[in-house]
């Protein structure tokens, strides 16, 4: 039996210096290992409590705080009422709080504030009979407050500083961004307007509906027009520091 050996094979064999080198040449080529399996997408973390939808249960009349049900009893009763209804069992109340007007703010895992309102209205009968007399249930839409600087006060020897109504009318007339907001608190002077000097500029603040805070974030650093000044700058609201009263 004849064996045909090519010149390349001869050169390869001639270059071998040991049995180990020969084993390397004759060993089969091992394919590379397969890539590791891709990780499945991680579930989104649950929303923080302060970002969950909220609703306000308005009660009839102001109630003595001592006679109000405890937070634990309220959350337990609300969740039991929701669990009994198949349409509302996906909603879970995580916290409640009473307001100064004896209204109940409800924070829950729900698709939206309006969906939470509809859900609570669906079990209103059981809530009313067990806990409190309900007047109405409305969404608890969050507000954002911003500061607008370099606004002409309008203070002159024969006229006081502009009123909140005048400030609102001026901003509403000349600023499309301001027109698009649902204003909840009219613009007001941060400093006492009685201390203004003639022709002075000062800062005002106003509040508007901002469910997730994105409107305020987009506004910070931009400008609005007020009384001819094009450079009234919007800034983040900072609560003024309380000065200690002298004894």
Q: What is the pLDDT at residue 8?
A: 47
Among the candidates 78, 106, 139, a domain finishes at 139
SS3 67: helix
Q: What is the pLDDT at residue 6?
A: 52
Count of domains observed in the chain: 2
Q: What is the pLDDT at residue 142?
A: 80
Q: What are phi and psi of 65, to 5 degrees?
A: -55, -30
Task: Render pLDDT for 11-52 as a digit per residue (tens, 0 to 9).
Answer: 555 555 555 555 555 555 566 777 777 766 666 555 454 578
Residue 36 lies in a domain: no
Task: Render pLDDT for 159-210 as a digit per residue (tens, 0 to 9).
Answer: 999 999 999 999 999 999 899 998 989 999 999 999 999 989 999 999 998 8
- Give residue 130's domain range: 49-139
Residue 31 lies in a domain: no
CATH number at residue 154: 3.30.70
Q: What is the largest CA-CA distance in the chain?
A: 125
- Whether residue 153 contacts residue 161, with contact meaning beta carbons closer than 8 Å, is answered with yes
Q: What is the mean pLDDT of residues 78-104?
A: 86
Among the candidates 139, 161, 195, a domain finishes at 139
Verify that 182 and 148 share a domain, yes or no. yes
User: What is the spatial order of strands in the sheet that 229-236 belongs to?
Assistant: 183-189, 201-209, 143-152, 229-236, 223-226
């Amino acid at each position: 039996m004849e064996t045909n050996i090519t010149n390349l094979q001869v050169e390869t064999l001639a270059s071998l210096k040991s049995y180990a080198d020969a084993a390397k040449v004759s060993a089969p080529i091992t394919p590379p290992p397969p890539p590791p399996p891709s990780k499945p997408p991680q579930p989104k973390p649950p929303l923080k409590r302060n970002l969950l939808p909220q609703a306000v249960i308005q009660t009839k009349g102001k109630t003595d705080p001592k006679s109000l049900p405890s937070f634990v009893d309220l959350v337990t009763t609300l969740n039991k009422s929701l669990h009994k209804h198949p349409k509302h069992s996906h909603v879970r109340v995580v916290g409640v709080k009473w307001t100064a007007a004896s209204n109940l703010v409800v924070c829950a895992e729900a698709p939206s504030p309006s969906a939470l309102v509809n859900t609570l209205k669906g079990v209103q009968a059981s809530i009313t009979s067990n806990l409190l007399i309900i007047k109405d249930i409305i969404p608890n839409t969050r507000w954002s407050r911003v500061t607008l600087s370099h606004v002409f006060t309008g203070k002159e020897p024969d006229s006081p500083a502009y009123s909140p109504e005048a400030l609102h009318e001026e901003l509403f007339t000349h600023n499309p961004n301001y027109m698009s907001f649902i204003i909840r608190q009219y613009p007001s002077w941060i400093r006492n307007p009685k201390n203004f000097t003639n022709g002075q500029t000062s800062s005002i603040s106003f509040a508007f509906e901002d469910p997730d805070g994105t409107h305020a974030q987009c506004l910070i650093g931009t400008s609005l027009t007020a009384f001819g000044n094009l450079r009234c700058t919007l800034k983040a609201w900072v609560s003024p520091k309380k000065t200690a009263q002298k004894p």
